[in-house]
Amino acid sequence: MFSGHMKLLFQRNSVINEAYRIKIVLTHLR
């Protein structure tokens, strides 16, 4: 159960990091 929770947390963090990276790229392109 704990392992599954950590996996879910990691996936969510990965998505947030991806969105942050895209935001930075768009800012530099503008």
Predicted pLDDT at 1: 58
The CA distance from 28 to 30, in Å, is 5
Residues 9-15, mean pLDDT to the nearest whole number: 86
Question: What percentage of residues in the chain have a pLDDT greater than 70?
Answer: 93
Banded model confidence at residue 21, pLDDT cuts 50, 70, 90: very high
Residues 2-27, mean pLDDT to the nearest whole number: 88
0.75 exceeded by pTM: no
3, HSE (Cβ side, Cα atoms, 13 Å): 0
